[in-house]
Every structure is written in C-alpha cells, then in structure tokens.
Chains A and B, each alone.
Chain A
Amino acid sequence: MNGRAPTGSEARADALEYGTRGKTVLAEKVIEKIASQVARDESTSSGSAGGFMGIGSHADSSARPRTSVQLTGNIAALSVEVGLPYPAPLRQGTQFLRERITSRVSEMTGVEVRQVDIRVSWLTMAKEPVGRRRLL
C-alpha cells in the first residue's frame, strides 16, 4: 500500500496474477452441511436418525436436520427438514431458524441465501424440567 491508485498496466498485471492462482469451487454439500450444523447448534431444531431409506427413522436431538441446497452462481435456495420441540411456537421457531441459517451461511461462505424452505416433519414433546437438587 503506497497510497496511490494502481495504474492500468498494474491492474492488468494483478488480474493476470490472480488468474494464475487457481479457483475456489464451493460445493453444494458444503453449504448443506453448514446449514444443517447451524440449524442443530444454534436453534432448538433437530434431525432424525435410524431407519432405512427414510422409513422407520426417529427424531434425534443430536442429529443434524436434513438439508438440501440449490446453488445458482452466488445465490442459494435451501430446503431444511427439521424436528422442533412441542409446544414451542412453530411460526416464531421456524422464522428464527430461517434467519440464523440465512445469516450464518452468508457469513461463512459469502453465498447470498435468497430463501430457506422449512418443513417441520416431527415434533418432540418437551421434557419436564428436572427438579432442583436438595442440599443438606
């Protein structure tokens, strides 16, 4: 940084130099994994486990929700299949999840997330709060 704007010949040289460094391809799978990880870690949603070809699977709070992505250039459209706790408000819960996925995926990958479709496929009854331990 010498404080002056690059001249035309310098800019061309830079472009040539960048061109020789190769290119970065962001696979759709990467975005899918990031989105499902964000959904599991940063919201109350969960995924499913077990079963064969989707038959007989059951809700598992430690599993990542199933996610699929359609990447067109730098714009992504995601679909997430999640389980949520019952009776948490579904509208609020899914909207929060959508906002988290949108912002975190954009932050981590630089991809613009245009839409996140959410399908709530199971609801798990919230467990009773564990009673306080008695101190003697």
Chain B
Amino acid sequence: MKRSVGTLNRTWLGILGFLVLMTGSIVILQAGGMLQGIMNTPPAGARVATADLHAVFAQSWVQAALLTIGVIVGVLGLLWMIAQIPRPNKVAAYRFHTEESGGRTLCDPAVLARAVEEHINTIPGVVSSAAKLYGTARSPEVSLKATLNDRADIQAVLLGIQSTVLPTLGAALEAPVTSSRIQIDISGKDQFGGTLHPSTGTVLQ
C-alpha cells in the first residue's frame, strides 16, 4: 500500500515539477527577450495581453472551458489527497475446510495473530508485540513488531521468534510460514508479567 502511494506521489510530483519548471523557464526566457531569437515570439517590450481581455473572457466557450478546467483540477487534487489516506490491508479469514470436510472451518487471522503475540511476549526481553497475518491458511505470511527492552539480547529474541514462535504457528496451521517480516523497536520499559512457575510441592510418605 505505502509503496504504491510512494510511486504515485513521485510520478506526479515529477510530472508537475517538470511542467512548472518548463513554464517558468519559458516565462523567464521570454521576459529576457531570448525566446524571440529562437521561436519568433513577441519582443520583451511587447504587451502580454494582446487582445481585449474583457471581450475574451465574455465568450461563453471560454467560461465553459474555465469551468471544465476548474472541475478537473479540483477533482484531481482531491483524489490525490484521498490517495494519501492509509487504507487497511484487509485479509480474508483463513479457510481450513475442503470439499469433504462436511462444513466450513474459518479462523480470522487476527485470532491467530493474538496467539502469536501472546507467544512472543513470553520470550525474555520482549516488552510488547503486535502481529498481523496475511496470505492464506496454506501459505501464511507473518508481519511482526516486537518492542524489546533496551537490555534484551536481540539475537536471542530473534532466535526465539524464528525457531519457536514461527514453527509453532506453522504447526497450528499445519503449513509452514512462507514469509516473515520482523520489525524490532527498543523501549526503556521493563517486560511486563514475568513467568509462571507451577508449584510442585513435596509429598512426604
């Protein structure tokens, strides 16, 4: 999404920039009298408006043209601004059923994402995490954001994610994760929650 908006912006900024630059250069060349030698334009001392402006703008086709140009320019500007609004990258529910299943089996990727977040949060050094799943149930793609404590062992956390969290997700989906994107952020906050240790006790006989 962001990439396509970036390309759109660069393209249109480039096109408009070039047009504006060319227009400005032509105006300067004409004002300096340099264009007259090349393109046989009026001399620098000549009037800009050679016709009666009142008469020109009184014509109905000129008014219609101005109205059309105004609408086109305004709509293009509005559409360009609307294109900047980030849109959510929607993912359809994962489907686990087949023809022979005897019913549909659906799971929203957000449900799996919450489980993945919960799993990541158990890794030492992880303060918080956010996960998003894309793709399909047979070809899942994962995008993770993990916020780590500034004293965390980053490589150990990554190893934990890559060797435990992602394979666990793959086991739940019964399909390996085909693509993973991990964004690490660092925070001064401490890890919340700690670890639960089951009490085993001692039985005296």
Contacts and interface: CB of A to CB of B under 8 A. Distances in A.
A and B touch in the complex (CB under 8 A): yes
Interface of A: 78, 86-92, 94-95, 98, 102, 114-123, 125, 128, 130-136
Interface in B104-128: 104-108, 111-112, 114-115, 118-119
A98 B200 contact: no
Please list the 7 inter-chain residue pairs (A to B) with the smallest Cβ-Cβ separation, ordered nearest first.
A120-B107, A123-B115, A87-B172, A115-B103, A131-B200, A116-B103, A86-B115
A116 B176 CA distance: 27
Interface of B: 96, 101-108, 111-112, 114-115, 118-119, 168-169, 171-174, 196, 198, 200-205
A72 to B, nearest CB: 15
Q: Please report whether the interface of chain B is mostly helix, strand, loop or mixed according to DSSP.
A: mixed
Contacts of A94: 96, 105
Contacts of B205: 135-136
A33 B106 CA distance: 22
A116 B105 CA distance: 9
A126 to B, nearest CB: 10
A116 B101 CA distance: 9
